[in-house]
Structure formats: C-alpha cells, structure tokens
Amino acid sequence: MNPLLLCLLTLLLVSHPCLSSSSSSELFEAWCKQYGKSYSSEQEKLYRLSVFEQNLAFITQHNDLGNSSYTLSLNSFSDLAHHEFKASLLGFSPTFLRLNRKSDPKPSAVRDVPSSIDWRKNGAVSNVKDQGSCGACWSFSATGAIEGINKIVTGSLVSLSEQELIDCDRVYPNSGCDGGLMDDAFQFIIDNNGIDTEEDYPYRGVDGTCNKQKLKRHVVTIDGYTDVPANDEEQLLQAVARQPVSVGIAGSGREFQFYSKGIFAGPCSTSLDHAVLIVGYGSENGVNYWIVKNSWGKNWGMNGYIHMLRDHSNSKGVCGINMLASYPTKTGENPPFPPPSPPPGPTKCDIFSKCGVGETCCCAKKFFGICLSWRCCELASAVCCQDRLHCCPHDYPICDTERNFCLQANGNLTMKANESRGSLGKSSRSKAKLFYW
C-alpha cells in the first residue's frame, strides 16, 4: 500500500469507531488516486463510496479483534461488493473433476525434509502476475508449477504463457476466463508437446482465438503430472519439499479478499473455487504455515503472497488447501529453443481481398449473408460494429455508436483504452473511443 494512504488509514482507524463521512470520503479519494479509479457517473461514485465504507468497517472490525493471527487492509478490491469480487476474481472448476485422478500412493520420499523451504530463494518462482477480471486462476497455478519444476530440472526460469492456455486449451472443462483445472492444463501441455513463453504469447486477460503459430512453439515441456492424495498433508509437505505445487482453495471469503499480512487461519469454507501455488513452507512463533503465491497482483497480500495455516485440525486443511493438490513431472531438458514466431502476414478477408498486417477485415456491404465489399479496421482482432462504419478493440467489444464509444462489460470502472486497468468486477462498463474504418 502507498505510504501516504497507509498513514491516512492508520490515523482514521485510530480515531474510530466514530469515522466521519468526511474522513472516509478523504480516504476514498486517496484510494481512488492510488489505484487510478474513476467512475462513469456521480451516482456510480456514490455507490462505490458506500461499498468502500462498508469494506473499511469490516476491515476495522477484524483488526480490532486483537487475537487474530493476520490483519486485513484496503487493496484494489475495496470498492467491490463481495458478490462482485467473487464473480470476477475466481475461476477454479472443481465440479468437473475426473474420477481417475492420477494419485501416486507412494510418492518418492524426500530424505530429511527441511524444516522450511522457500522456492523463491532457489530462483524457481517467477514474478507475481495479475489475472485481472479474467477467471483464469487455474492457468496461473499451472504455469507457476511448470515454471518451478523446469527451473529445478534445467536451471532456467522461464515465464510461461497463461494466454496460450486460455485461448487454446478449450477441452471441457477448461473454459478460459470462465474457469478450468490445473490437471487438464498439464494434460493439454503434454499432448501439445510443450508450451510457449509469456514473452512470445503475452497475457491479455480476455478469451481469444488460439494462435496456432505460437501453439507450435514448444519452449518448455513436461513428462506428466501427479495428484497428491486428497487430505494428506504429510504427502503434500513431501511434494512441496521437492517443487512448487498447484492447489485449489476456497478463496472467496471476505477475509481472504482483504488479507494483508500474517498467518491466515480462516474463517473460510472448503468449497474450492480458486487456484493458487504453494511455493514453500515455514513456521513463525511455533505456528506452521504454507507460503502461497496468488495471481491478483503485488498490491494484494504480502506483495502477492499469503501465509496459510499448516497443521490444521481439519484434514482438508485451511480453506481446503489439502484437498486438491497436483504437480507436473519432468526429468529431461527442453527441446532446442525455437526461433521467434514469424511476423504476421496480411489478413485475408476472402480469396480476392485482404487487409494489412495487424488489421481486421470488416464487411462493408452484404447481400443475403455474403459479403460483397470489405473495409479494413486498423486494429488487430477487432470487433466490427453493425453500422459498418466503426470497429472496436477486442477487449472493448461492445459498440455504442450513438455515444461514439466502445464498451467493456466487465468492470466497475470507466476509463479510456490507454489508461491502466485494475482488477474489476462485472457490474458496469469501461469504455474506449470508437475507431473508423
């Protein structure tokens, strides 16, 4: 959190329980400035302020308990009602689990399991990433686990492409931004003989068309994957001692939404709805914990991480963390590093017409469903508006030709296309300017 905002929050919390509306409004304005938030109308802003005040009261009440092992704080989700948060930040699909999970009844033991391990210190963990409002946590958990074992086996840490999984791994139940499973992502990469890098196939945070050319770039491979037996914390510990491990958790709790620091011990359910990556374990004052990497950016938790209670009385673990764990297996080197993807060629409209590189074909005149005349939109993978005069960016796909805007129906924030985008709910629409052909 920004030091100035943190200072203001501290002063306000010290002065509670009588937080004045003017004080919370000042804090809200400071918060909006830090996170670049603006709203489509004064009415929307007043509603977001009321949500912000409710969340602030919840955070204050928790931190006043005094006996909690963790603290909460404002973050980029502080203007989201809880139902909006759950709708936009999760994306794990445990209801589609196969019955034949590949559990290893006797995983290879680790001699002298260390009392603590942090795979970040071994260079086996990439930077914290941000899934935004796309429910593709499963893809981040899967790539994180593969990045880890690839570093351990080959000595090279390569950040891998979540967007490739979102666009190309569309075999049920994996559904891009609508959820998926890590095991199915592992199987997709095995069947594809590898996965591309994040640099070559970068993250866009929306469902897209699979780039078949980049799909052929097999930069990092895995041999298989193994499922840790459910509700067996000792075997999960053995697995994490060898490598980072993908897990499902119940991450939709309000306390989890505003976690700031400390050892998270709930309350939370065991209904799995979010996917994360265990990158180590340790203990503090005799309390054991997992080191967990999330995919909500560095502004959440401890720079994107959370410590979650280990040795929980429930065999399922806190938030169900012991229930559904798996990890990729790898024994050998990767194939020779492929050359960069070739530059794209002209966009083909039909056998007679084409547009330039990075442009989109839009039909200007149709007759009985057949396009007789094409125009070129200057944007790649654009959406062609029905007025046949304008087009919109793929991530702002709703044409509002009356107001001359392209809209995005997945945010509570109004901004132009070139402004930075935070993690948004799904309550209203962001906007960008329409483009003429």
| pLDDT value at residue 52 | 95
Catalytic residue among 55, 75, 174, 274: 274
| pLDDT value at residue 432 | 56
Catalytic residue among 75, 174, 211, 294: 294
CATH superfamily name and code, 117-329? Cysteine proteinases (3.90.70.10)
| pLDDT value at residue 427 | 30
| pLDDT value at residue 263 | 98
pTM of this structure: 0.77
| pLDDT value at residue 394 | 77
| pLDDT value at residue 110 | 55
Domain ranges of the chain: 25-67, 117-329, 347-416
Catalytic residue among 32, 55, 134, 137: 137
| pLDDT value at residue 249 | 96
| pLDDT value at residue 411 | 37
129-141 pLDDT tens trace: 999 989 999 999 9
| pLDDT value at residue 412 | 34
| pLDDT value at residue 108 | 55
Neighbour count for residue 256 (Cβ, 10 Å): 24
Could you confirm whether 294 is annotated as catalytic?
A: yes
pLDDT tens-digit profile, the chain (437 residues): 555 455 555 444 444 444 556 688 899 999 999 988 889 899 999 999 999 999 999 999 999 988 899 999 999 999 999 988 888 777 666 654 544 455 554 555 556 789 999 999 999 999 999 999 899 999 999 999 999 999 999 999 999 999 999 999 988 678 889 889 999 999 999 999 999 999 999 999 888 889 999 999 999 999 999 999 999 999 999 999 999 999 999 999 999 999 999 999 999 999 999 999 999 999 999 999 999 999 999 999 999 999 999 988 899 999 999 999 999 999 999 998 777 766 777 888 888 889 988 788 999 888 887 888 999 998 887 888 888 888 888 777 888 888 788 886 543 332 333 332 222 122 333 455 555 55
